[in-house]
Structure 1
Amino acid sequence: MAEMNGHHSLENKEAAFTDDNARSSTEVGLGEETIDPARETKLLAKLDLFFVPIIMVVYLSCFLDRANIGNVKTAGMPEDIGATAQQFSTAVSIFYATYVTFESPWAILLKKITPRYLITGLCVVWSLVTIFSGFITSIGGLYATRLILGACEGGLFPGLNLYLTMVYKREEQAKRVSYLFVCTALAGAFGGLLAYAILHMDGVAGYAGWRWVYIIEGIFSIIVAVIVWFGLPNDPSNAYFLNAEEKHLMQIRARQRAAYMGSDDFSWEEIRIAFKDPKVYLSGIIQFMQDILLYGFSTFLPSIIKSMGYNSLQSQYLTIPVYLVGGFVFLAFAFVSDRMTIRGPFIIFANIFGIIGYILIITNTPYGVKFFATFLCAIAVYNGPGLNMTWLNVNTAPHYRRAASIGFQQTIGNTAGIVAGQIYRTSPYLLGNAFSLGALCVAQFLVLGKWLYIRKLNAEKEKIISGEIEDTRKVQTGDRALDFKYHL
């Protein structure tokens, strides 16, 4: 009888291991209440309808306020404040000094401060800083505003990612994270269009057009902060827009995700585990390589296009289709990635487009071909960082281990912003584009290495479940649990 019980126990573990929802074997054994797929689809549609627009608009405003330095560069801002090319590059890079410093602390503090207070507070401060940027008269003023902006915006991306894990299951997340990166693309497109329109205000009230870019985009962000305050609930499972039945469904989903979310109690042990996890470091280095593209491309695309022979206004509106193609291709990739619960191979595939694109840009090709190449680059620019971020999200549990992992990964990755500001210095930006090409090639090998490592971890769990090897691992909880299958 003992042997039979042991045999059934192993069967249960094997069944649980194949469940991508990562429920614990205890929950499975208890015959946990399930949700009718049609009702869950309807619930997800409602969650998306209320949460996604708010999350997208706040990240849109964040990236607008960060990346508009690229728009004002072509509109004469450096000359007006007496900044040299080197000083302007430093201003671009210095943003990331405070950005990466504050990412992990903000991520860990999200639950304690609560999402509504933290995200709204950060949004208000960076909005005011953006408005004040319109009144700077020296390079020192630009340095100061960029440092404060970085400290505030550093909390948003990891904070929004963690918020998404409080709402959605693992296999639902790439699509939602893609919305954030679509906002990055839309910020580039909308930022270019908005800058194109606002720059026509040059001379209004005695202010240069680039000053109005800062002032108007900062006011827009203040409005967004109000939307966040009233629209983003601290507890998504009891959101104001859910009826009693939908709140019950959210409770069932929460129980299904219990192993993934874990305890609400803060734990230094989970932080320690995160900082010793090899996949966090692999993910961080991959993010660094991919972010070199993201920050170089999103900040300097108007200047890159201008170097192809277009004028200042043309270089603004020609960025729009490039950003839109990059964003919508990422939506398609993320949707399929969620359906297949596969992450790494999609990053490698997307990066191939970027490699071809950067080769075309840096070689002796006609301007029309170079402009077409920016569309290819955009595919890698958004898919790489976005899917890599999701890959870590879905493979780390419970909450505080994930919070520390995301914050640390973003800290490593976003130091790329410092590099991007230094490699894109002078037209035609051969150094910056060649460096981005090299970063993409290195990323390909790193993604493959991480994929092989995670596959090895899954194989090790399978061997432990089948009794082939003894479980001697020091950490056996959270994502290290035997019933937690890593997404490849």
Structure 2
Amino acid sequence: MGVDEKTAVPPSKGEETSASASLNALDPEVQGWDELGTRRLLAKLDWHILPIMSIIYLLCFLDRTNIGNARLDNLEADLGLGGLQYNDCLAILFPFYIAAEIPSNMMMKRFRPSVWLTFIMVCWSAVMVGQGFVKNYAGLMATRVLLGAFEGGLFPGVNYYITQWYCRHECGFRMALFFSAATLAGAFGGILARGIAEMAGVGGLPAWAWIFILEGLLSILVSFSAYWIIHDYPATAKFLTEDERAEVKRRLRADHGHLLDDFNMKYVWQVLGDWKVYIHMLICMAGFCPIYSFSLFLPTIIKNMGYTANNAQLMSVPPYVCACFFTITASWFADRLRQRGVFLLGFQLVAVAGFAMLAATGDASVQYAGTVLAAIGIFPQIPLGLAWNSGNTGGSSLKRATAIAMQVMGGNCGGIVASYVYLSRDGPRYVRGHSILIGFVSMAFVLTLAMTAWCRRENARRDASPGFGGAAALAAGPLGLTDEQKLLERDRADRVPWFRYTV
């Protein structure tokens, strides 16, 4: 499956694009890199890329979901929220979050990641601090709108950014390491909220206000250093030597199959016409809906099991810790085996079991075990699904960036639904909400099963089809074509003879 794993990097000025240079770039012996050297290079990339991205996303997810912790410290009563107004404040974030995703990924392609990611981080951090000073429903709604608009570009942007450094079969594990920050944000948020609760009355502000202010200030401090820490692309990475930069670009070219990679809006239209992307959008929506429901309402659910508010904050930590472990471990194995669908199917079944335990009984210990299983089942689905979609989107990196943004857009449509899954009138058991999430995860299971079957069948058809050159074309890849044939094939993306889908 090695030749079907690909990614791309924007070519630098004056970069050699001739057929002869391409052939040399594909030959590892020309470069003299062995397996040990490659592992050391990947470790160096990991150390310089993943920590800052994980920290930024941890803070982003924390700022987006800490309203669930603030709710336990009298947010609704102090702002006079009633009826569905709290749920409205949750939901209003997502339309603006969704609207920002494709434009933001296009900005990531057009401009430097260090500039764009730093800009949106400074903006959402300032909004989070301001949210601590709101006085009513209208003020909270306004800050949530701005928070969605500025945070919307981060998640799809970083996932696209990762594909600019690593080959396709290496991206899933890295995406999981990055996304695991969301689980750590849930754990860290509960502990932090418990400590901040002791600041109630300081400066005349309630505890929920200090949750927003202090966590926003923490994000601002990190954003001030992000510009200097984020490395844009391999061609300009100062932490790499000349030989290392050349090897990273060589690996990406070889993995990419030398398909065309210019900035052209036709690639956006290609994605809009690709039915597979819409299936991944639905799978992602069915994954993000329970994740957001879980993150926004877990403290409330645990409190309704009979725990005090402070203990509920702390009891929300273990499910996230378990989810973090399984998110990273599953993606590591998925990269090693170069499989996505089968892992998704397994975790979807675990998630259904967890929500079924929550819905079926009022026993607190069984319900709490259900929250742990639900967390283990839902969080790994996102990095697995993103790696699956991005890896099977051929052609320009702009096309892949758009496909990732669309997938995350679909996912965040699930966030709108998630805001209304757990309604106060359904407490303390929330059987209806748990049942809704079982339905969403079950839909994801059916779609994942269908997509896995299609990818396997299509690969088999291409292996047997003379038009795709069969196994010979797969083995030869772009090296099996003449220069004239390469020019004709470069823009065909995943329809080229040597492309095989990851299943």
TM-score (norm 1): 0.91
Identify which of 374, 379, 382 aligns with 2:376. 379
Q: Deviations over 1:147-205 (max 9, x none)?
A: 01001111001100110000111010110110122101000000111111111111111
Asked if 1 retains the 8 angstrom alpha-carbon contact of 2:166 and 2:252, the reply is no
Deviation at 1:475, TM superposition (A): 10
The correspondence of residues 330-369 of structure 1 with structure 2, limited to 5 A, is 330-369=327-366
Deviation at 1:386, TM superposition (A): 2.0
1:451 paired residue number = 452
Distance 1:388 1:475, change over 3 A: same
Q: Aligned partner of 2:398: which letter? A: Y
The correspondence of residues 461-480 of structure 1 with structure 2, limited to 5 A, is 461-462=462-463, 463=465, 464-466=467-469, 477-480=492-495
The correspondence of residues 159-170 of structure 1 with structure 2, limited to 5 A, is 159-170=157-168
Separation in 2, partners of 1:99, 1:443: 22
Identify which of 229, 253, 267 aligns with 1:255. 253
Q: Secondary structure at the match of 1:245?
A: helix
1:483 aligns with 2:498: yes
Q: Deviations over 1:452-476 (max 9, x none)?
A: 22223323322133479xxxxx996
Deviation at 1:227, TM superposition (A): 2.6
Q: Deviations over 1:213-269 (max 9, x none)?
A: 000000111112123211112223431222233223223223223437741x31111
2:11 paired residue number = none
1:19 aligns with 2:3: yes
Asked if 2 retains the 8 angstrom alpha-carbon contact of 1:280 and 1:405, the reply is yes
Separation in 2, partners of 1:22, 1:292: 29
Identify which of 377, 389, 400 aligns with 2:398. 400
Asked if 2 retains the 8 angstrom alpha-carbon contact of 1:56 and 1:179, the reply is yes
Identify which of 141, 144, 147 aligns with 2:145. 147
Distance 1:324 1:45, change over 3 A: same
Separation in 1, partners of 2:181, 2:400: 23
1:318 paired residue number = 315
Deviates more, 1:68-77 or 1:236-245: 236-245
The correspondence of residues 241-320 of structure 1 with structure 2, limited to 5 A, is 241-259=239-257, 262-263=260-261, 265-320=262-317
1:204 paired residue number = 202
The correspondence of residues 51-130 of structure 1 with structure 2, limited to 5 A, is 51-130=49-128
The correspondence of residues 435-446 of structure 1 with structure 2, limited to 5 A, is 435-446=436-447
- Point out 4+ residue stretches in structure 1 off by more than 4 angstroms: 22-31
Separation in 2, partners of 1:297, 1:128: 26
Identify which of 27, 32, 36 aligns with 1:33. 27
Distance 1:80 1:377, change over 3 A: same
2:433 paired residue number = 432
Separation in 2, partners of 1:126, 1:103: 15
Deviation at 1:28, TM superposition (A): 8.4
Deviates more, 1:29-38 or 1:146-155: 29-38
Q: Aligned partner of 1:45: which letter? A: A
Deviation at 1:31, TM superposition (A): 7.6
Q: Secondary structure at the match of 2:135?
A: coil
Runs of 5+ unmatched residues, structure 1: 1-16, 469-473
Q: Deviations over 1:365-422 (max 9, x none)?
A: 4101110111100112211222111110111122011111111111122111111111
1:411 paired residue number = 409
Asked if 2 retains the 8 angstrom alpha-carbon contact of 1:23 and 1:484, the reply is no
Distance 1:200 1:31, change over 3 A: closer
Asked if 1 retains the 8 angstrom alpha-carbon contact of 2:96 and 2:148, the reply is yes
Asked if 2 retains the 8 angstrom alpha-carbon contact of 1:351 and 1:379, the reply is no
Identify which of 151, 154, 176 aligns with 1:156. 154
Separation in 1, partners of 2:20, 2:502: 21
Distance 1:246 1:142, change over 3 A: same
Deviates more, 1:389-398 or 1:241-250: 241-250
Q: Secondary structure at the match of 1:415?
A: helix
Separation in 2, partners of 1:55, 1:184: 12
TM-score (norm 2): 0.89
- Percent identity over the alignment? 33
Deviation at 1:327, TM superposition (A): 1.0
Separation in 1, partners of 2:275, 2:258: 19
Asked if 1 retains the 8 angstrom alpha-carbon contact of 2:7 and 2:168, the reply is no
Separation in 2, partners of 1:348, 1:182: 19
Deviation at 1:29, TM superposition (A): 6.0
Q: Deviations over 1:91-129 (max 9, x none)?
A: 001100101111111112212122111110000000000
Q: Aligned partner of 1:441: which letter? A: S
Deviation at 1:431, TM superposition (A): 2.1
Separation in 1, partners of 2:200, 2:302: 22
Q: Aligned partner of 2:392: which letter? A: N
Asked if 2 retains the 8 angstrom alpha-carbon contact of 1:57 and 1:183, the reply is yes
Distance 1:404 1:21, change over 3 A: closer
Asked if 2 retains the 8 angstrom alpha-carbon contact of 1:289 and 1:439, the reply is yes
Asked if 2 retains the 8 angstrom alpha-carbon contact of 1:347 and 1:384, the reply is yes
Asked if 1 retains the 8 angstrom alpha-carbon contact of 2:5 and 2:391, the reply is no
Separation in 2, partners of 1:109, 1:396: 19
1:471 paired residue number = none
Separation in 1, partners of 2:133, 2:185: 23
Separation in 1, partners of 2:264, 2:73: 49
Separation in 2, partners of 1:382, 1:342: 17
Q: Aligned partner of 2:110: which letter? A: K
Distance 1:240 1:79, change over 3 A: same
